[in-house]
Amino acid sequence: MSAQQQLKLEGVYKSYNGASILQDVNFQVNNGDIYTLIGKNGVGKSTLLQLIVGLNTPDKGEIQLNGHAIITESSDWKKNIGVALSTENLIETLTIEEYLTLLGGIYGLEKSVTKSRTKSLISYFYEDNEKIAKPIKDYSSGMKKKALLCAALVHNPAILLLDEPFTFLDPASCSRLCDFLVQQKELGKIILLSSHDLLYIDKISTRIGVLDSTKLILDDVYENFKQENDFFKDNKMLKKILNYNSKDLSLLEEL
Amino acid sequence: MNPIIYIFKKRSQQFFDKENNPERILILLNMFGFYYIPKLLSSVFEYSDGPASPYLLYIINNLILFTPLLSLFLPTFEAKKNILPSYLPMPKRSLFLLDCIAAIGKRASLSIIAMTAGFFIYFHFADKWVYVSISLTGIIALMMTDAITNVLSWQKAKWWAAIIIAAALNLLPKWTGADLSISLYLKLVSAFILGVTLWYSYSIHPASPRGSKTIIQRSHISAWSILLKEITRSGLAKTSITIIFALKIFVLFAMPYFGESYLAGSQLPVVSLLFYSPIFLFASIFNNSFGYFRNLFVNIWLYDNRTSQYIKFFASLLFPLLLADITISMLFLLWFKLLTWPNVIIYFSSALYLIIVAGITSCLLPKKIEQRSLSGIKKGSSSWSSMISMIPLLIVTGFHLRQICPTLVACLGIAFVAIPVLIKKYGAGWQTRVIQAVK
């Protein structure tokens, strides 16, 4: 494992049109950790990732890497991060191979390196029978998601920022992605992801954060969290904090 | 390969892609139309190798500068989306360059270039600096179009002032009676201001969230609210429709006081006729960002594909906007004592024609819907309707005013024959296609 690295958020605030999205968010992710953010829809998980990536700026607070505030516009930071946020960011008129070739050029990789990485990423994430030699716009949602993940990994970044990476993927691909992330964790990468997929969160997470009502209400080692909140047995705390039981089927009586 | 060259190559391929046929035909039609306008003007002015009159330069200047408005492009402002996400290690200048390259292939830009070239070819001036002035106007028009798109896309309203100043600097020489050298100097200042505006109004970040959205209460869901929600929600649609009406009022009511007044009972000049007709209103309705077709489709789906419902919703959207347009146009006729039967017939026959075009194109629309998403309507659907809607514009441009009334009536006749033919041909498969697309 490489030397100690640390991504830290200190007192981060963000609001849109006067409405608070995030308030006083503090947590840190060390290398060799897979930090998973969970929370209800619209609670600010994606916004938080956008702030770290640099697609948005916090109203207050600081994001640091190894104790230094990061400049999200800097080329160094951009080369350091592998980002998979939204499939809208793909250039849909290109095939996956063309897109990765383009990214290789942007990241300044040698042509041969781009070629070999493209080949290995595609053969790892895509099935042999998946038709990839067509524009991305004609891919299924799952294939697009894989393209987004490949794009985030082609330059072998030290920090992975993934927004709901398991969404749209079939179980085999999810499992493969889990194996890949665990391997990356062991290589000493900083991995931060948001997800709703409890099965895979349970499989790979080393730390967990729960976002609710604009705040990070829980930030703990996953094993500790799991002792009180086994997703698949008694998840009292999770039910309470995520308000699982606030609605029942009687609301749908008109149906 | 250099990423910029790579993208340029791929975008060029996309431009010539078979799927882009309607858009490409529309671009060519536009370019032809705007190349043709200088030829018409040159025959009107019978101008050759003489000194450049300030009035003539003023007309040339305005026409080039406001080509995007004249050419129905104003409502087709599409919010910019960065070609590449800004988290990739590319400097702003590269993203900016990519964006500029992409803008060149658009209708507005190519029409400005076509019109500027038209003035070069059909007008002959003794003073070479006049050509420099015309070229600079073309460049300024290109920059202004892009700057306005930036401001609208990323809601950087503070840059409106710079755009207005830059436009005013171009119009100033006419009022001050300044000579060509002052005019050139002002154009250079204008180009500089627009250059700075373009750079600073360009955002490498995604569009910031829009203001509060209209919330439709469950109990209030009605045809009106559903049909008009896209207009009330979309900032671009609101801006577009407001500018259309504001421009129409300005051109029809204010311009005569700046220039020559209309003579009572006289026939309308071509530009006034264009603004008087509902063509600009329909152009904005035909635009994708307006959400018209999307709404229409959703409503067909929601309300069980009944023809009567279809007509009801179709009319619900058109009626309030058309009523506002009719009010402005008829007030204009009354105000300037131009209320004659031919003028009234011109308005209503072109309105009817455009309604028929809207009907036909919306019947053809379900073929164009992507199966995966309700909102993902292919670009071509609005291009076809824009293209058909441009026929009266081309007729107005191509024929002399005296023939406009019979030609519009002829258009109407053709449309009345075309609609049963098209509906017969495509209408049978229409409902099943809608249902299939929804499934």
Spatial CA neighbour of A151 closest among A101, A77, A78, A92 = A101
At B171 the pLDDT is 77
Rounded average pLDDT over B205-217:
47
Structure tokens belonging to residue A235: 């998840």
pLDDT at A48 exceeding the cut of 80: yes
Distance from CA of A248 to the nearest CA of B (A): 20
What residues of A are in contact with residue B90 (Cβ under 8 Å)?
Answer: 106
The rounded percent of chain A whose pLDDT value lies above 90 is 62
Which of chain B's residues have a Cβ under 8 Å away from the Cβ of A151? none
For residues B236 and B296, the answer to whether their CB atoms sit within 8 Å is no
Closest CA to B412 of B354, B341, B330, B340: B354
Q: Which of A15, A20, A55, A160 to mutate to test the interface with B (most CBs of B within 10 A)?
A: A55
Choice between B278 and A158, residue whose per-residue pLDDT is larger: A158
> At A66, is the pLDDT very low, low, confident or very high (cuts 50, 70, 90)?
very high
Cβ–Cβ below 8 Å for A55 and B85: yes
Give the phi and the psi of residue B410 in degrees, each rounded to 5.
Answer: -65, -40
Candidates B1, B91, B206; nearest CB to A55: B206
A-B Cβ pairs (cutoff 8 Å, strict): 52
Cβ contact, residue pair B87, A54, below 8 Å: yes
Write the pLDDT tens digit of every residue in A209-226: 999 888 999 899 999 888
Q: Does A254 touch chain B (CB under 8 A)?
A: no
Residue B306 neighbours by CB under 8 Å, 6+ apart: none
Smallest CA-to-CA distance from B11 within B77, B141, B100, B92 is with: B100
Interface of A with B in 151-210 (CB under 8 A): none
Q: A241 CA to chain B: closest CA distance, Å? A: 28
Interface touch A56/B205, C-beta < 8 Å: yes
- The answer to whether A15 contacts chain B (CB < 8 Å) is no
pLDDT at A34 > cutoff 90:
yes
Residue bearing the bigger pLDDT, A36 or A245: A36
What is the C-alpha to C-alpha distance for residues B310 and B330, in angstroms, rounded to an integer? Answer: 29
Comparing CB atoms, the residue among B1, B83, B91 nearest residue A105 is: B1
Q: Answer whether B88 sits within 8 Å of A81, measured CB to CB.
A: no
Work out the percent of chain B whose per-residue pLDDT is above 70. Answer: 55
pLDDT over 50 (residue B211): no
Answer yes or no: are the C-beta atoms of B363 and B427 closer than 8 Å.
yes
A11 and chain B: CB distance < 8 Å anywhere? Answer: no
- Nearest-Cα distance to chain A for B239, in Å, is 20
Q: How far apart are CA B149 and CA B140, in angstroms?
A: 14
Tell if the CB–CB gap between A91 and B84 is shorter than 8 Å: yes
Res. B240 pLDDT band, cuts 50 70 90: low
Do B418 and B426 form a contact (C-beta atoms < 8 A)? no
Q: What pLDDT was estimated at residue B407?
A: 59
The ipTM of this complex is 0.83
Q: In chain B, which residues have their Cβ closer than 8 Å to the Cβ of A91? A: 7, 10, 83-84
Q: Which helix (H) or strand (E) holds B164?
A: helix B160-176
Count the neighbouring beta carbons within 10 Å of the beta carbon of residue B428.
10
Task: Decide: A182 and A103 in contact? Cβ < 8 Å.
Answer: no
A106/B87 touch (CB, cutoff 8 Å), yes or no: no
Residues contacting residue A54 through CB under 8 Å, at least 6 positions apart = A72, A73, A77, A78, B86, B87
What is the rounded distance in angstroms from the CA atom of residue A6 to the CA atom of residue A67? 8
Q: Which of A115-119, B33-37, B327-331, B399-403 has the lowest mean pLDDT?
A: B399-403
A135 has a chain B CB within 8 A of its CB: no
**B87 with A78: Cβ contact below 8 A:** yes
- Tell if the CB–CB gap between B3 and A102 is shorter than 8 Å: yes
> Residue A137 corresponds to which tokens in the numbers above?
């716009």
